[in-house]
Amino acid sequence: MSRVRKYESPRLEIPGCCVLPPVSQYYWANIEEVQDFATQWMYSYNHDRPNMALGGFTPMQHLAMAA
């Protein structure tokens, strides 16, 4: 269960995984739409978004370099 701190938007936390962006700005008609959004977000996070802690590489680029 996610905790909301003062002045913070509610977020969807996936235990053992990640925290999705604020969910208050989205409307979903059913759970399949939520799952699709989460899947697209996780793909974008791992493949498209550079991470400064990884030297500006995406997590997938970093993983490929380690292999």
Confidence band, pLDDT 50/70/90 cuts, at residue 64: very high
Of 2-11, 48-57, 58-67, give the lowest mean pLDDT range: 2-11
Question: Cα(57)–Cα(62) distance, rounded to whole angstroms?
Answer: 6
Supply 53's token pair. Answer: 């802690």
Backbone angles phi, psi at 18, to 5 degrees: -160, 175
- pLDDT tens digits, 7-43: 555 556 666 666 666 655 667 788 888 889 889 989 9
